[in-house]
């Protein structure tokens, strides 16, 4: 029985080896040698940190801190009327929240958003379709 299994495996391996030509092998090696494109810096900026932060406070208490995932919010400002803006089909006023951002001012052409945790400001122009907020 062992001889039969050995003979069958030998026949199968020789059949597979004969199906791969020298040109196929050269092509495979050439594909490996070609310079591969990596990720560009714009895409790398939006990748998540795979590491966990371990922090220790004054009481020597150790805690594990996970960074929250980034969330993209697409924003479209359709209209501005009487200090209210129609943002993503809902009427918003100064002080309302959109994701992590607070609406700080509304003018006829620009809606200004403010984020408290990193003190950043975003300006969203009316009728501009490609506004994306990262929170």
- Ordered by start, the domain boundaries in the chain are 2-33, 72-134
Amino acid 104: pLDDT: 92
Helix (H) or strand (E) holding 34: none
- Whether 80 and 94 have beta carbons less than 8 Å apart is answered as no
pLDDT digits over 27-71, tens only? Answer: 888 888 877 677 777 676 666 667 767 777 777 676 666 666 666
Amino acid 64: pLDDT: 67
Amino acid 65: pLDDT: 66
Residue 105's pLDDT band, with cuts at 50, 70 and 90, is very high
Q: Alpha helix locations (H) across the chain?
A: 2-19, 22-33, 41-45
More confident residue, 18 or 134: 18
CA-to-CA separations, 15 to 20, 66, 118, 129, in angstroms, rounded: 9, 54, 65, 59
Residue 120's pLDDT band, with cuts at 50, 70 and 90, is confident
């Amino acid at each position: 029985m062992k001889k039969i299994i050995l003979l069958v495996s030998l026949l199968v391996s020789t059949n597979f080896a004969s199906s791969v030509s020298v040109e196929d092998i050269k092509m495979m090696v050439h594909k490996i040698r070609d310079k591969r494109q990596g990720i560009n810096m714009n895409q790398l900026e939006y990748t998540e940190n795979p590491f966990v932060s371990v922090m220790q406070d004054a009481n020597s208490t150790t805690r594990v801190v996970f960074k929250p995932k980034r969330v993209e919010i697409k924003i479209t400002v359709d209209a501005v009327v009487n200090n209210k803006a129609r943002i993503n089909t809902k009427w918003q006023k100064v002080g309302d929240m959109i994701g992590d951002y607070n609406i700080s001012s509304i003018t006829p052409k620009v809606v200004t958003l403010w984020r408290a945790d990193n003190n950043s400001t975003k300006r969203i122009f009316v009728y501009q379709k490609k506004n994306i907020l990262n929170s």
